[in-house]
Amino acid sequence: MRIELTVNGDRRQCDAWGGESLLFVLREQLGLPGSKNACEQGECGSCSVLLDGELAAGQADGCEVTTVEGLADGDRLHPVQQAFVEAGAVQCGFCTPGLVVAAADLLAANASPTDDEIREALSGNICRCTGYQKILDAVHLAAGRTDGEREGGR
């Protein structure tokens, strides 16, 4: 089937089998490799994207998709991306795109989350490297910088 969707602000079209995963379409057909396929089962969160502004996956025809590539504003990193760098929350980096998207979604809804709220919001994203403390630090660091922003301030 021919699908048309908005990805990171651009209208895109491609041919996709109706049962194809959005991740495959993004990575292999639309050339956006930021979203990862770490567990290959949709369980670890490395594939997280925003679908119509909400953290989700599923049917994308006609939807607006935001991937990690779409969070930055040109050369200016999204506050969550910048905070992950500054807080040292990136080690191997495989989990990072999904965590950044999930954290951006959290902060768009809750500008000052508690540790428990961050843990709950990021509970679908698995990191094997950091022990999570630096990720918590990064989200707190970004929290004060994202007031009024939604999906990178679009």
Angle at 49 between CA 105 and CA 133, to 5 degrees: 55
**Closest separation in Å from C-beta 122 to ligand FES:** 11
Kind and range of the H or E element at 94?
Answer: none
Structure tokens at 34: 């930021």
Give every CB contact of residue 38 below 8 A, 6+ residues apart in sequence. 44, 46, 47, 94, 95, 126
Smaller CB distance to ligand FES: residue 8 or 130? 130
Nearer to ligand FES, 60 or 125 (CB): 125
Q: How far is the CB of 127 from ligand FES (least distance, A)?
A: 3
Q: Least CB distance from residue 89 to ligand FES, whole Å? A: 8
Min dist. Cβ of residue 129 to ligand FES (A): 3
Inter-residue contact 143 to 111 (CB < 8 Å): yes
Strand-pair category, 64-66 with 2-7: parallel
Q: Which residues bind ligand FES (CB under 6 A)?
A: 90-96, 127-130
Q: Which is nearer to ligand FES, 32 or 95 (CB)?
A: 95
Give the strand pairing for 49-51 and 64-66. antiparallel
HSE, CB side, 13 Å, CA atoms: give it for residue 150.
Answer: 8
Of 107 and 138, which has the nearer Cβ to ligand FES?
138
C-beta of 128 vs 154, nearer to ligand FES: 128
| Min CB(67)–ligand FES separation in Å | 18
